A and B are shown apart, each in its own frame.
Chain A
Amino acid sequence: MTLAIGKTFAATEEIPDNTEFHSLLFDSTLCIGCRSCENACAKAHGYPEPEDELKPDVLRKTSETRRGVINNHTTSKGEVFVRNQCMHCNQPACASACLTQAMYKTKEGPVIWRGDKCMGCRYCMVSCPFDVPKFEYYSSNPKIVKCDMCYDRLIKGEIPTCAAACGDALIFGTRREMLAEAHKRIAENPKDYYNKVYGEDVAGGTGLLYLSPVPFEELGFNTKLQDESYPALSKGFLYSVPSIFVLLPSLLLGIHEATKSNQPKSPEHE
């Protein structure tokens, strides 16, 4: 089942593609919790404007009508606002789980969902370590809802609507630039920042990068997630498939032949 059917092997001369992964860098030391990013997102994607109040330590979640949320955490350094949305992993579990390539890692970086391919099996939701994809349970034509980093804007050269709406806490650029910027900020103000960029390594590296004044556990991040990518977990199994497919039938045929010779065919059984 690992045949690459449908891929073209035409010997066309390819122009080297220099497209890099893009990232959003969220600096929680700068976020004031104004939620313009939430409102801009709702407006751009046709969801109802978020009306629930932002209360300290009341965890709001993304849902099938909300792709990104801001939460208010009380920490050892006072209140800190954090944005929660799709992490756009470099090697996304959801995309490797998808049996129709509906969840798809684009070369620009966003992980997008393609409705014309999706069967609605929700294996992406089972696999995502961040519990990001949401499903419209009450629809006869349900969609998987999650942030797509405004992919349609991105390919037109515009920046995601949340980053455009935000003052300076959420900035957008190539992943390389954003990582450099994050490390620069930590280096320049070591007192203001916890010395780690969340997203640099977690789950094999993500497209969302976070800076924080306090350890990330205080902001409700799951810091127990592995740094290895999640698709690597099922790699061993998938790689064993071709060998089993070759070796097992040969073995079975061998045994069949071996047992055949010492037992004459009985007339009852064939």
Chain B
Amino acid sequence: MNNTQTAIEKERGFSSTWQFILSEMKPKGKWITPFNIISIPIIFLGLGLIIYRFIYGIGSITNLTQEVPWGLWIGFDVVTGVAFAGGAYVVTFMVYILKMDKYHSIVRVTVLNGFLAYVFYAGALLLDLGRPWNVVNPIIGNSFGTSSVLFLVAWHFMLYMLAELIEFSPAIAEWLGAKKARKILSAMTIGAVIFGITLSTLHQSGLGALYLMAKDKIHPLWYSEFIPIMFLVSSIFAGLSMVIFEGSISNRVFFDQISDKDRKAHKGILTGLSKICAGAMFAYFFLHILVFIHDKNWNYINSPMGYWFLTEMIGFVLLPMMLFVYSYRNKNTLTIKVAAIITMVGIIINRLNVTVIGFRWDAPVHYIPSWMEVTVTLAVIFTEIWIFRWVIMRMPVLHESKN
């Protein structure tokens, strides 16, 4: 945006704001990119499958059974997706509460990422509801199941989305050139941050607490009364690994959006984040050892599930933790990115072990998601990336506001 445009924006009234938004709706940049070619057909196929599912029932496109009622859509989209969105509460805590100014340049993109993750992945919950028209019951009306962990999680999702929207709203106001609104919204940031961190603490652990009553259904190596704490601690490094991963991709894809200063600072940010990841992973690993010894789980180790557990713990927690330590000691950003990717794979494995793989591990028929469930999941992820890209290209997220 050049100076004349800025001047025009100042003069703009309500109707021209609409014109501005409409003009921004138009695509920017090249249409034929590898990402578009892959994502567009999958999004449309997913959309078709979703329509089919609402006509013929959930069973028509999923492999869910009476014994395994929650599959990929809950175990991956919601439970894993929300863990990856944990970066927002950790980074806002660092920047707004602890005033670590070094990380200020990644706050907006992280919050945007978190917000969209909640909208799409928690939104994917709606696809899994058999009777979605009753979704208002726990929100309004006289049907509050206050003894339910899911009630708590549902409310926290909604409130947290609101908190993240408020945290992100100054960027929207800057995009629209609404200076007064920006001032008001910025003043609300710290309140939204405090509220948001509290909500995150409770629902990140709440996602684990959902499974507390399934005591006899989850493999003992993954079930313990400490699932909520495990989920909370792992959401810290899951979220930060996502920040590292997303940051290194954004640095390449949205190269022109990022100022030289921020690009140079990025290495320092990565090193800092890898330190925090390593610390959180050490705490997580240690907790797992404590629970393992306390629950006397030795007799499960010498079995296929036991080997799988060791793979998760050593290959996807201990190994990336050491890589993070190695990286920040040697200031090596490449190994940081590798460690972040291994950590993310580990988080996917862990969440699926609790929710899908270890759930009813002893059942004669195992649940394996159908290709249609996978397609819908991919469609959800791709749509989120489309929106993310749309916002990045228009709003002051990666770059500073021009006016």
Type the 1/0 row for A80-112, where 1 means its CB is closer than 8 Å to any CB of B: 000000000000010111111110000000000
- B64–A137 contact, CB under 8 A? yes
Report which of A100, A259, A266 forms a contact with B145, defined as CB distance below 8 A. Answer: A100
- B148–A96 contact, CB under 8 A? yes
- B135–A119 contact, CB under 8 A? yes
Tell whether A71 is near chain B: CB-to-CB under 8 Å.
no
User: B residues within 8 A CB of A119?
Assistant: 129-132, 134-135, 137-138
Question: What separation, in Å, do the CA atoms of A126 and B132 have in the docked complex?
Answer: 18
Closest Cβ–Cβ distance, residue A139 to chain B (whole Å)? 5
User: A residues within 8 A CB of B64?
Assistant: 137
Tell whether A263 is near chain B: CB-to-CB under 8 Å.
yes
Tell whether A49 is near chain B: CB-to-CB under 8 Å.
no
- B216–A122 contact, CB under 8 A? no
Tell whether A253 is near chain B: CB-to-CB under 8 Å.
yes
Tell whether A120 is near chain B: CB-to-CB under 8 Å.
yes
**Given A118-B134, A126-B214: A269 in contact with B104 (beta carbons within 8 A):** yes
Question: What separation, in Å, do the CA atoms of A238 and B144 have in the docked complex?
Answer: 15
User: A residues within 8 A CB of B131?
Assistant: 115, 118-120, 141-142
Report which of A2, A134, A253, A269 forms a contact with B194, defined as CB distance below 8 A. Answer: A253
Closest to A259 in B: B99
Closest Cβ–Cβ distance, residue A172 to chain B (whole Å)? 27
Which residues of A from 103 to 151 have beta carbons under 8 Å from B? 115-123, 125-127, 129, 131, 134-142
Question: What separation, in Å, do the CA atoms of A3 and B155 have in the docked complex?
Answer: 13
- B70–A126 contact, CB under 8 A? yes
User: B residues within 8 A CB of A10?
Assistant: none
- A138–B97 contact, CB under 8 A? no
Question: What separation, in Å, do the CA atoms of A238 and B209 have in the docked complex?
Answer: 9
Question: What separation, in Å, do the CA atoms of A134 and B368 have in the docked complex?
Answer: 19
Tell whether A34 is near chain B: CB-to-CB under 8 Å.
no
- A238–B147 contact, CB under 8 A? yes
Tell whether B6 is near chain A: CB-to-CB under 8 Å.
no
Closest Cβ–Cβ distance, residue A186 to chain B (whole Å)? 27
Question: What separation, in Å, do the CA atoms of A20 and B211 have in the docked complex?
Answer: 31
Type the 1/0 row for B228-271, where 1 means its CB is closer than 8 Å to any CB of A: 10000000000000000000000000000000000000000000
Tell whether B195 is near chain A: CB-to-CB under 8 Å.
yes
**Given A120-B130, A252-B97: A135 in contact with B213 (beta carbons within 8 A):** no
- A1–B147 contact, CB under 8 A? no
Closest to B211 in A: A126
Type the 1/0 row for B26-46, where 1 means its CB is closer than 8 Å to any CB of A: 000000000000000000000
User: A residues within 8 A CB of B211?
Assistant: 126
- B215–A101 contact, CB under 8 A? no
Tell whether B60 is near chain A: CB-to-CB under 8 Å.
yes
**Given A101-B144, A224-B216: A139 in contact with B198 (beta carbons within 8 A):** no
User: B residues within 8 A CB of A252?
Assistant: 93, 97, 193-194, 197-198
Question: What separation, in Å, do the CA atoms of A229 and B157 have in the docked complex?
Answer: 28
- A236–B225 contact, CB under 8 A? yes
Tell whether A5 is near chain B: CB-to-CB under 8 Å.
yes
Report which of B134, B150, B151, B202 forms a contact with A244, defined as CB distance below 8 A. Answer: B202
- B99–A244 contact, CB under 8 A? no
User: B residues within 8 A CB of A255?
Assistant: 97-98
**Given A137-B57, A237-B212: A97 in contact with B146 (beta carbons within 8 A):** no
Question: What separation, in Å, do the CA atoms of A255 and B215 have in the docked complex?
Answer: 38
Type the 1/0 row for A217-247, where 1 means its CB is closer than 8 Å to any CB of B: 0000010111000110110111001001100
Tell whether B2 is near chain A: CB-to-CB under 8 Å.
no
Question: What separation, in Å, do the CA atoms of A137 and B197 have in the docked complex?
Answer: 37
**Given A234-B213, A248-B198, A249-B195: A126 in contact with B69 (beta carbons within 8 A):** yes
Closest to B154 in A: A99
Tell whether B330 is near chain A: CB-to-CB under 8 Å.
no
Question: What separation, in Å, do the CA atoms of A115 and B134 have in the docked complex?
Answer: 9
User: A residues within 8 A CB of B197?
Assistant: 248, 252
Closest Cβ–Cβ distance, residue B206 to chain A (whole Å)? 7
Tell whether B47 is near chain A: CB-to-CB under 8 Å.
no
- A100–B137 contact, CB under 8 A? yes
User: A residues within 8 A CB of B142?
Assistant: 5-6
- A97–B150 contact, CB under 8 A? yes
- B130–A225 contact, CB under 8 A? no
Tell whether A63 is near chain B: CB-to-CB under 8 Å.
yes
**Given A5-B144, A119-B137, A122-B130: A260 in contact with B99 (beta carbons within 8 A):** yes
Tell whether A58 is near chain B: CB-to-CB under 8 Å.
no
User: B residues within 8 A CB of A64?
Assistant: 66
Closest to B156 in A: A1
**Given A119-B135, A121-B128: A142 in contact with B57 (beta carbons within 8 A):** yes
Type the 1/0 row for A188-218, where 1 means its CB is closer than 8 Å to any CB of B: 0000000000000000000000000000000
Question: What separation, in Å, do the CA atoms of A117 and B134 have in the docked complex?
Answer: 6
**Given A99-B154, A117-B143: A237 in contact with B149 (beta carbons within 8 A):** yes
Tell whether B55 is near chain A: CB-to-CB under 8 Å.
yes
Closest Cβ–Cβ distance, residue B172 to chain A (whole Å)? 16
- Of residues A5, A119, A244, which shows the largest number of chain B Cβ atoms within 10 Å of its Cβ? A119
User: A residues within 8 A CB of B194?
Assistant: 249, 252-253, 256
Report which of A99, A116, A129, A233 forms a contact with B148, defined as CB distance below 8 A. Answer: A99
Closest Cβ–Cβ distance, residue A261 to chain B (whole Å)? 10
Question: What separation, in Å, do the CA atoms of A126 and B211 have in the docked complex?
Answer: 8
Closest Cβ–Cβ distance, residue B191 to chain A (whole Å)? 9
**A-B interface, 3 closest residue pairs, ranked by CB to CB distance from nearest:** A120-B130, A137-B59, A120-B131
Known: A135-B69, A138-B57. 14 other contacts (CB 8 A): A1-B152, A1-B156, A97-B148, A119-B131, A121-B129, A122-B70, A126-B214, A131-B67, A137-B62, A138-B56, A140-B54, A245-B202, A252-B97, A255-B97
Task: Using CB atoms and an 8 Å cutoff, list the residues of chain B in contact with chain A.
Answer: 54-60, 62, 64, 66-67, 69-70, 93, 96-99, 101, 104, 125, 128-132, 134-135, 137-138, 142-152, 154-156, 186, 189-190, 193-195, 197-198, 201-202, 205-206, 209-217, 225, 228
A-B contact pairs, 10 of them (CB 8 A): A99-B138, A99-B151, A119-B130, A123-B210, A127-B214, A129-B213, A137-B57, A234-B149, A237-B209, A238-B209
